[in-house]
Structures are given as structure tokens and as C-alpha cells.
A and B are shown apart, each in its own frame.
Chain A
């Protein structure tokens, strides 16, 4: 074989690969979302001004969703931020704040209240992204987006490669300590589909957490998201997250 022939073959293969690239493969959930138009798009609203870091949401979530209580993984958690006058930012989430924040020692540091500029709590959970990178990278299609925008995992099909865990910029995914399949917050899919609210929303004593339907303009959550100033986490990744925050600080990671 001479060089010309060799280059011809390579050129042909490259063209073939390019042609394949123009097709788009849809996951079952994506296809369903395109065909069936749902009149529901679940979204979450967190008011960080109202959160006191009691951790009732984390506790409720663990119990409701069968995540072993003492396993150091969780579908939702609360972070504490302490911004000091000297510019240092301290942050921690002991046990995901399952037991609340019972000690003023933050990130191992005893903080003098006089040194604090501001301090606050930020609850975290799955952002149920419009462009979920976790769904994109699943090699077997075991994780998918439903028509209502919720990203779910099929425990009977997940092979446990961990690629989705790597792909999530928010760190919400983990391996279930019992089933050893990818696990994540589902906005309590089993509850919201039956007219109930999520376990964390129900457990929150201060109304810091709310869930709503973005496609319903009269939904109070939708009204806040549409009319007030809200922010999302890490929008630079292009994932289009659907958990909205009131009072999000620039120091929040």
C-alpha cells in the first residue's frame, strides 16, 4: 500500500465518522419528552434567608428514600458558609448536616463571632437539569429524564460504572450503599406524582424549600422564579439547572 491509498482509506473513515455524528440518539426518556408534551415541569425553590441549618430535610430525606442513616452519603444536604472579615471563606457540611449544625467550629476552626462578616446556610439537592450531563454519559441508558423534567436511575439496569457521578458538576450522585447503583435525589418522584410534596419540603419548619410546576403560571413557586431575582448554581457548565435560589451568595460553591 502506498501513502496515497493509505490516506484515502483514512479520509473515507473520517468522512464516515462525520456522517454518523450528524445523527442524534435519544434516550427513551428524551424521546418520550419530545413526543408527549407534559403540562408539568418540576422545579425547586430554595430561600437561603430562611434556612437555619436544622437538618430536618436531610433526616427526612434519608428516612423517606431508604439511604442507610449512618452511611456518609446523602441525596440532599445543607452547607454552612462563614465569611470572615479577613476574606477567608469557611464552609462545611458535617454528615451532610443530618444532625444540624450543633457546633460553632467551622471547617475545624473556632471562629470568633466578632470576626464574621456574614454567615448563612445553603441547602443542596439534585438540580434536575434541562441538559443533564449525567444522562448524556450513561453508557447503557440506565439514567434518563422523564417528561416532567425529573432525572431518574433504573436500579435494574445501572451497571455501576460511575461515569454519571463523574459527570455531575454538583456532586449530587453517589453509589447506593445497599444496591450499589447510581443514586440521586428524585424530588421524591414517588410522592409528587401522587399529589404529595417532597419529604424535605414537608420537613422544613421554615419554608426554606419549595417545589413547584414551572408550566403553571399560577404556581406560587413559578411566580417567584419569574418575578423575583433568583440564581442557579454553576450555570457555567451549561447544564441548565432547575433548582432556583433566593439570596445566593457569590461564595457558594
Chain B
């Protein structure tokens, strides 16, 4: 006989009457997946607010958010791959998509969206690519040669920087940013549909699920963009201050001012707006379930109000929603307070995903038993790595690493000294 293991056995604790085959089959990676796609969608919507709706106050943030969205996009399929029992067969979704399945759309929606973001980035950075090619022309050495070659490839042969051509670029950006918003909403709304359409799961099955997912996606995306922006700008400030202490006269004013409180305040308004939406929808769902109280309400009530009470009401609603909301609407928002609040918002969205994915599996199909997910912290095999703390951290960190490298090639962090695109 071969060696065997039962998927889910290691991190599932059963209580009372549970069917023998029931385990927490969808664990932390499936918590990470909607979190990541949500961040993708949210970051993109933030950048589109500038491009489509002409919210000029978001100009600096828009470029950063767009490129960051792309980095997150590259990271989004990783939790799915890590979750599959046969990751090498993952591409079957592209070859034999079975269209009655919500998951089968992943390939199409994901690729469409990736293309839109890639194209938009190209149009935004085309002028920059051409400038780089010309600037590197005079430089000697292998490094400069390779770099110039890379930028030459990136231009795709479009060197026309005439006013007319650039104006056309801007128009295309506007269209792509506009089309991208519904596609981003679709990408994430459909992630919500994956859960909302599972009729066997009493907690997941609600038509509100896709809408709730979209709203919380925008919330998380905007919050992450704000937080990352603040951290990067403050880091630059820190470095500039340090450099000045060793070599006087190096730093300029722009480097020293750090994140702009004004920009943060303006962005936070959009964040508050979407937070209200997300919170209201979730509350509506809860009230509706309690009021209609169908057959499954007994077990749902004991999960929501007893077993998962701390996860849902303390961690998600209080720490992740109400406290950051108050911090953000309190007058005279400072950068530091905004950073703290957005970190809490991100935690709240993570808890929301956790409470949906794990919470939905924390009661048995018998409606007479419970299951707990005990996250593997120290892995002792591939399964406990993938479906445990380290797997989740890997997925969370990768987009930042992607962004670090992408940013080297196409600078997305607002530069000191008036770099314009």
C-alpha cells in the first residue's frame, strides 16, 4: 500500500456530529486568494478614479496604484496554485474550461484583466520608455546596453513623442481605465460568486456575496495603496534625513517632507465612502438572516454569536471597521493616524475573508456539529507549509517583492525632483 494522508485531517478539529468526510478543505490559501484579488481590484479602481473621473487630487497615487495593482495581479494566482492538490494541472482550467463552474472563468477574467492593466501601464509609461532609450544612448558599458535594449523592446517600436501621439495615449489610457473598472469589479465580484453560489453552504449562499466582495475589495485596495504609499514616502524621508546628517546639502525639500497629509486626507475620503457601503451590506446580510431565520439559522446563529463571536464582532467589525472608521473621520487626520487606521482596515478585510471562508466551514453539513481550523504554524511537510502560516505569509509578501523589481524598471513611486509622466 502507498503512503497516504487525508487532506484536512491535520488542521481540522471536529466536534459533535460531523459527517466522516467533512474537513476544512478550503483553508488559509482560500482566505488569501480573495484578499489578493480584492487588493488588485481595489488598487485599480483607485487609479481609475484619477484617469476616468478626473479626480486630480489622486494623480500621484494613481500611477503608484496602477503599477502596484499589476504586482498584486502577478501574485493573485499563487494562493490558488498552492491550494490545488495537483498544482501542475492548474493550467487545465485554460484548456478545458467547464463553463458551468464559477472557477472556470478565472482564466478568462484574469487574462482579460491582466492585459488591460498591462496595456494601461504601457500607455502611461510609453513616453518614459522612449526617454530612457534616448538617455541611455550615450552611456557606455554592458549594463547600459542591456538596459537600453530592454527599454527599446518595451517601446514596441513606438517612438513618436509628438503632441498628437501623446494626446492619443492619454485618450487610450482613459478608455482602458474605464473598461478596467467593470472588469476589476467582475474579477472580484466573480470571486464572491464562487462562494455565494455554493448552495450546500448555508453561510456562503447569498446573492449579496459578490457585491459585498466588490465593496470590501475596493476598501482593501485603497487602504493598502495608502499604507504602502505612506510607508515608502516615510522611508525615503528617513533615508534622506540620514544622508543629510552624513553629507550635508544632499537632501531636497521634496525628499524631506515624506507622505503628503493632503493627499492622504483626500484618498481617505474615498476609503470612508466604500467602507460605509461594505459595512452596510454585511450588516444587511446579517439582519436578513436573523429576521428570516430559515432552517439553517440555528446553526448559523451559534457560529456567528457564539463560536466565532470574537473573530466576527471584535476582530472584524470593531477593530477592522468601527475603530479605523472613527480614526479616519476624526478631524485633522495626520499621516501617522491614517497609517494606523489603514493597517486596521486591512486587518478587518483579512478577518472578513477569514470569517467567510473558514467560518463557512466551521459548521457541519449535518447542522449538528462543528469544525475548527487550527492553523499549522510550524510545518512538517508540504501540506502543512502550504495550508499554514508560512504559506499565507509567502503569498502576502510576494507582491511586494514583485513590486520592488517592477519599480526598478518602471518607477511608480513618486520621485523627488519633479519626475513627470
Contact = CB atoms under 8 A, between A and B. Distances in A.
Interface of A: 1, 6, 9-10, 13, 25, 27, 68, 71-74, 77, 89-93, 95-96, 107, 124, 133, 135-142, 157-163, 165-175, 177-178, 180-181, 236-238, 253
A163 to B, nearest CB: 6
5 contacts: A73-B20, A137-B103, A137-B198, A178-B4, A253-B17
The 3 closest A-B pairs by CB, nearest first: A160-B85, A177-B4, A171-B19
Interface in B367-384: 367-368
Nearest to B4: A177
A76 B213 CA distance: 37
A12 B95 CA distance: 28
B52 A6 contact: yes
A92 B20 contact: no
What does DSSP make chain B's interface, helix, strand, loop or mixed?
Answer: loop
Contact of A139 (B9, B19, B101): B101
Interface stretch (B157-165, B175-183, B404-412): B175-183
A27 B100 contact: yes
B1 interface: yes
A246 B295 CA distance: 24
A237 B20 contact: no
A133 B90 CA distance: 21
B106 interface: yes
B394 interface: no
Given A139-B93, A180-B7, A174 B21 contact: yes
B4 A95 contact: no
Contacts of A71: 4, 6
Contact of A68 (B4, B85, B89, B101): B4
B26 interface: yes
A72 B20 contact: yes
Given A10-B182, A107-B17, A253-B367, A163 B6 contact: no
Given A169-B199, A175-B7, A163 B17 contact: no
Contacts of A168: 200
Interface string B54-69: 0000000000000000
Contacts of A139: 93, 97-98, 101-104, 106
B26 A162 contact: yes
Contact of A178 (B2, B52, B175): B2
A160 B86 contact: yes
B205 to A, nearest CB: 10
B291 interface: no
Given A91-B368, A170-B365, A141 B98 contact: yes
Nearest to B88: A159
A9 B179 contact: yes
B245 interface: no
A1 B4 contact: no
A91 B17 contact: yes
B330 interface: no
B83 interface: yes
Interface string B198-218: 111100000000000000000
A93 B364 CA distance: 14
Contact of B20 (A10, A77, A175): A77
B306 interface: no
A92 B14 CA distance: 12
A96 B6 contact: no
A92 B104 CA distance: 37
A133 B25 CA distance: 17
